Structure 1
Amino acid sequence: MIQDVSTKPFADQKPGTSGLRKKVRVFQQPNYAENFIQAVFDVVTGKEGATLVIGGDGRFLNREVIQVAIRMAAANGFARVLVGQGGILSTPAASHVIRRYGALGGLVLSASHNPGGPEEDFGIKYNIANGGPAPEAVTEAIHARTLSIENYRTFAAPDVDIDSPGLRQVGPLTVEVIDPVADYAALMETLFDFSAIRALFAGGFRMRFDAMSAVTGPYAHEILERRLGAPAGTVVNGTPLPDFGHHHPDPNLVHARDLYDLMMGPDAPDFGAASDGDGDRNLIIGRNQYVTPSDSLAVLAANAHLAPGYARGLAGIARSMPTSAAADRVAAALGVPLFETPTGWKFFGNLLDAGMATICGEESAGTGSDHVREKDGLWAVLLWLNILAVRRQPVAQILAEHWARFGRNYYARHDYEAIPTDRADALMAALRSSLPTLPGLDTPAGPVASADDFAYTDPTDASVSARQGVRIGFVDGSRIVFRLSGTGTEGATLRVYLERYVAADGDLSLETAVALAPLVAAAEALAGIAGHTGMDRPSVIT
């Protein structure tokens, strides 16, 4: 039986760059998740008879909200729901399922790399029919609907068994519980030379993959250990847990420190990698060689032709504005366009759909291609393995040869987390107001050459996204970018991106902290970070 339930709006349901993310306790408020899901359903057209995909990263509250979403889908006209077994679907796998089965869209239940548990984070993101995150026009419409909602529709029915594959019925709705890994693994086999990678492992190649007790564990066990023949134990922390085993599932040098220490130790494997809560981010480390996400994007783009799925070449490369310009030099060498977009994977969707770009990347450990419409952590790991299998060189040598050809972009991101929102907003407002006065100003990093607030005009539909981050360029080609992140759940996170380019004939062996020290001092001088935030150092450096 369909029920219309009266409700009242919540004022805090504006989606960020990756959907709505809040603390679990916020989502546990009566009607909170229901309001947001109904707002999505009210905005989306074509629901009658359509297919909806639902899945998540297994974090706390995942299973409960899936049941809510299934009942609401039954009451809102959907004919079929595809749900990952156990409620599990990595974000890139969800994108692939949406595309493969012609779904209208999908609800991805995740807060990505944020921690999970009763006192931690939860999130809901709507992905459209191309498999990618809803564009701004859709998320703005969803937000507007959350502010006027008066009721939501649900179907009176008991919970559905989501642990056993097969068909279920909820009134008029067919619920199909699917293997969360099978479709994705089959897709990977079409892109990469599994025979070459199997031969690499058979020859004694050693790897450590840290799934961080998050969603990629089942995918990594199946693909790396079963299909590619990596020894049992290659994948660690491979069982998804509601609290990620008390890990913070963000694959960076703070939260994946055990992996970093192993890879820098005396008995390091040949290759180390990790992925995040929902499987869309990646960390790449060779023996005694950390690879920045920006460098990883550039190396993958320069070597993608070694994998069968990309032997045709690249149509173009896209990167987010804060990502280093390392990929720009690869695009120039390949003779393909380079697109600089705002942060947020949804901005790559139009380029991918139009066939204008093949490989995309963000500095926040996200890399992907036109195989789905999300960044894809395990995809990046497999492309690295394909390159290693063909080139038969260690990661450090591949990186050194890359820099010797293209030069090196010394790069780091400094995150200042959980800043009171009013203080973070005041910092950015002061910085923006100072922009006209900055060119010519002398700083610890040298004179300022340019200063602006990045705005993007989409080349496919001419839509404009303004105020996407403050960029300050220096005479020597270095730059600093300041922006507030939309992925946190409490307060604000200030991200400061520091980049210095050294040509191929320069010093390519500097310590990153040494190379960027003048830019760190310049960032403080220009933005007054300590004064505005009360923080004398970043929370995280990546």
Structure 2
Amino acid sequence: MSIHPHAGKPVRPEDRINIAQLVSHYYSLFPDVEIEEQRVTFGTSGHRGNANKCSFNEAHIVAICQAVVEYRQSQGITGPLFLGKDTHALSEPAFISALSVLVANNINVVIQDDEGFTPTPVISRLIINHNKCLANDDEYADGLIITPSHNPPSDGGIKYNPPHGGPAEGDITKAIEQRANELIAAKLVDVKKVDITQALLSDCVSKQDFIKFYVEQLSQVVDMRAIAKANVNIGVDPLGGSGIAYWPEIAKVYGLNLSVVNPVVDASFAFMPLDKDGKIRMDCSSPYAMSGLIEMKDKFDVSIGNDPDFDRHGIVTKQGGLMNPNHFLAVAIHYLMTHRNWSVDCKIGKTLVSSSLIDRVAAKLAKPLSEVPVGFKWFVSGLQHGEYAFGGEESAGASFLALDGSTWTTDKDGFVMGLLAAEIIAVTGKDPHQYYLELVNELGEPCYGRVEAVANSAQKTVLTSLSPSDVTADTLAGEKIERILSHAPGNNAAIGGIKVVTSNGWFAARPSGTEDIYKIYAESFIDKAHLDAIIAQAQDIVSAAFKKAGL
């Protein structure tokens, strides 16, 4: 995918969305589930869509929430449901729709006390904290987060976190998805709903200061004293996201030298530099979307960016600029495994499209490694039971155990990953980029790349069904192919594509679970030319699979 000529530049008038029209379409358009693009579809992180395209409308939200209610009933989940939302334009009306359905079904819902924004990791922490305090197995809590993550301003999204606090597993989302589509097909006759005024006055709704709760617990997972004592100078750009009110409170409670460089919340996200494809996208791992923070890198010891629901992190250093997410994952893992007194048996969790530098770090430290498919849901059980010390994915999302080895979150946490970067500086005197350079000097430096291309549903289905037999070559970019994977080594789960591995490189091809694209991830420990050769051969393999299927 080529770089748009306006990538990294300010938003133009023609780039802005019509929020009034978008919200109007949220309420006025009704989806036809016979049209695939208008169905409820849970990808790796919930259902996402666009009201203008009839893929994220009130019918979707009320149907999903009714389906969640019925799932809760089938599982005997009777505790509170924590409900959060991010700063996208469609999140506010979707929040109202969700609350109206949940209250109509007599669900006890807990929301932020000022009806403000709530990040994904906060919902996860609330669920875990509530459930670990139960005297018995009843009254388990769960949660819903209304967010399309880093997607453009016109998109909306919603995801369900069951009582373990992390993203719902495939069997759960499949059941919710199927039931929601049945409800929409039946014109919502079985959906219970009350007026929002009645809902907010209901005894079923309670309010809590989520900010105070979360901020006061951060010292359980990050060495906040060390950061304060070292007076690490931290710059933060929330990118207009749901954690905007959290960072000032974190600085106040722990006495940090922290500056929020952009305090703006604007549902059009018109303050964002355009992303690589010329769209407004709040992707904290993109050098184009993060160009504003990168320009200020010399003012701070470390700078932190987050996406709208704060489950991702972007780390900017003075010398290195915006770190490749894989590089920081490797640094974080090495630091944590050498500065925490966790069980020697707990595993390092990585997605199969994350850098093999992580494999080399694990081998150096003699720590067990578990490689799983794309999606943070694969780390949930391990983090919940303390079997995983760390779970991270290449898209800049990760979480890790608390200082005492207990569960912190079972969903990605952009706050703690950013604060960990500051802790590394405070404890080692090296910023994460310097730490990375020392690692690769010993273990070898990777060249990592990812390319994307438009793919329709039929093409995405072909990619999902690829098997080792579809790769007929014996070599990849001049090296002997050692492994061809269609299932992840860590849990033998299908990866929804293939991964081809050599001694010094690999590629993986898989469709996106949330966008109409496919992705090729690749890495070389030789050089950029070798990486380009890997990617070119990977594209040929994908094209051959499409041609074979007549697409």
The TM-score by the shorter chain falls in which range? 0.7 to 0.9
Change (3 A) 1:76 1:454: same
Q: Which residue of 2 aligns with 1:369?
A: 400
Find out whether 1:395 has 2:432 as its counterpart: yes
Q: Which residue of 2 aligns with 1:130?
A: 164
Amino acid at match of 1:378: F
Scaled by the length of structure 2, the TM-score of the pair is 0.80
Matched residues in 2 for 1:207 and 1:529: separation? 48
Matched residues in 2 for 1:238 and 1:67: separation? 25
Instruction: Indicate conservation of the 8 Å contact 1:70/1:81, yes or no.
Output: no
Q: Which residue of 2 aligns with 1:154?
A: 192
Matched residues in 1 for 2:376 and 2:257: separation? 31
Q: Which residue of 1 aligns with 2:326?
A: 294
Bigger shift: residues 358-367 or 281-290: 281-290
Instruction: Indicate conservation of the 8 Å contact 1:306/1:390, yes or no.
Output: no
Instruction: Indicate conservation of the 8 Å contact 1:214/1:244, yes or no.
Output: no
Deviations 1:261-316, CA, capped at 9 Å, x for gaps: 443xxx45322221111101111121121422122112111111576xx3335611
Change (3 A) 1:457 1:304: closer
Q: CA deviation at 1:19?
A: 0.7
Q: CA deviation at 1:318?
A: 0.3
Q: Which residue of 1 aligns with 2:533?
A: 518
Matched residues in 1 for 2:127 and 2:264: separation? 24
Q: CA deviation at 1:160?
A: 6.8
Bigger shift: residues 371-380 or 148-157: 148-157
Amino acid at match of 1:85: D
Q: CA deviation at 1:107?
A: 0.9
Instruction: Indicate conservation of the 8 Å contact 2:467/2:486, yes or no.
Output: no
Change (3 A) 1:447 1:34: same
Matched residues in 1 for 2:335 and 2:352: separation? 22
Deviations 1:140-163, CA, capped at 9 Å, x for gaps: 1112212333433434344379xx
Amino acid at match of 2:80: T
Q: CA deviation at 1:379?
A: 0.7
Q: CA deviation at 1:515?
A: 5.7
Q: Which residue of 2 aligns with 1:3?
A: none
Q: Which residue of 2 aligns with 1:238?
A: 263
Bigger shift: residues 178-187 or 235-244: 235-244
Instruction: Indicate conservation of the 8 Å contact 2:471/2:541, yes or no.
Output: no
Matched residues in 2 for 1:329 and 1:436: separation? 26
Q: Which residue of 2 aligns with 1:179?
A: 209
Three-state SS of the structure 2 residue aligned to 1:106 is strand
Q: Which residue of 2 aligns with 1:188?
A: 218
Matched residues in 2 for 1:529 and 1:276: separation? 36
Bigger shift: residues 521-530 or 64-73: 521-530
Deviations 1:400-433, CA, capped at 9 Å, x for gaps: 21123333332122233x444445555676x658
Specify which of 5, 10, 13 is matched with residue 33 of structure 2.
Answer: 10
The alignment's C-alpha RMSD in Å is: 2.9
Matched residues in 2 for 1:457 and 1:125: separation? 27
Q: Which residue of 2 aligns with 1:407?
A: 444
Change (3 A) 1:395 1:296: closer
Instruction: Indicate conservation of the 8 Å contact 1:451/1:470, yes or no.
Output: no
Deviations 1:25-56, CA, capped at 9 Å, x for gaps: 33664523211211222222356742111011
Matched residues in 2 for 1:399 and 1:55: separation? 35
Deviations 1:364-402, CA, capped at 9 Å, x for gaps: 111111410111111111111111101112333211211
For 1:64-103, list aligned pairs within 5 A. 64-83=93-112, 85-102=114-131, 103=140
Find out whether 1:211 has 2:219 as its counterpart: no
Change (3 A) 1:457 1:481: closer
Matched residues in 2 for 1:424 and 1:8: separation? 22
Q: Which residue of 1 aligns with 2:283?
A: 250
Matched residues in 2 for 1:306 and 1:480: separation? 30
Matched residues in 2 for 1:48 and 1:175: separation? 17
Instruction: Indicate conservation of the 8 Å contact 1:127/1:133, yes or no.
Output: yes
Deviations 1:183-225, CA, capped at 9 Å, x for gaps: 2212211222222211222xxx433222111122222222246
Amino acid at match of 1:518: A
Instruction: Indicate conservation of the 8 Å contact 2:467/2:497, yes or no.
Output: no
Change (3 A) 1:8 1:470: closer
Amino acid at match of 1:62: S
Find out whether 1:501 has 2:538 as its counterpart: no
Three-state SS of the structure 2 residue aligned to 1:146 is helix
Change (3 A) 1:448 1:487: farther
Q: Which runs of 5+ in 1 are unaligned?
A: 1-6, 162-167, 503-509, 533-542
Instruction: Indicate conservation of the 8 Å contact 2:80/2:110, yes or no.
Output: yes
Find out whether 1:340 has 2:371 as its counterpart: yes
Scaled by the length of structure 1, the TM-score of the pair is 0.81
Q: Which residue of 1 aligns with 2:356?
A: 325
Amino acid at match of 1:299: V
Matched residues in 1 for 2:176 and 2:100: separation? 20
Amino acid at match of 1:321: L
Matched residues in 2 for 1:134 and 1:458: separation? 19
Q: CA deviation at 1:456?
A: 3.8
- Aligned pairs, how many? 483
Q: Which residue of 2 aligns with 1:56?
A: 85
Specify which of 470, 473, 479 is matched with residue 435 of structure 1.
Answer: 470
Specify which of 143, 160, 164 is matched with residue 106 of structure 1.
Answer: 143
Specify which of 429, 433, 452 is matched with residue 484 of structure 2.
Answer: 452
Instruction: Indicate conservation of the 8 Å contact 2:313/2:417, yes or no.
Output: yes
Change (3 A) 1:327 1:174: same
Amino acid at match of 2:481: A
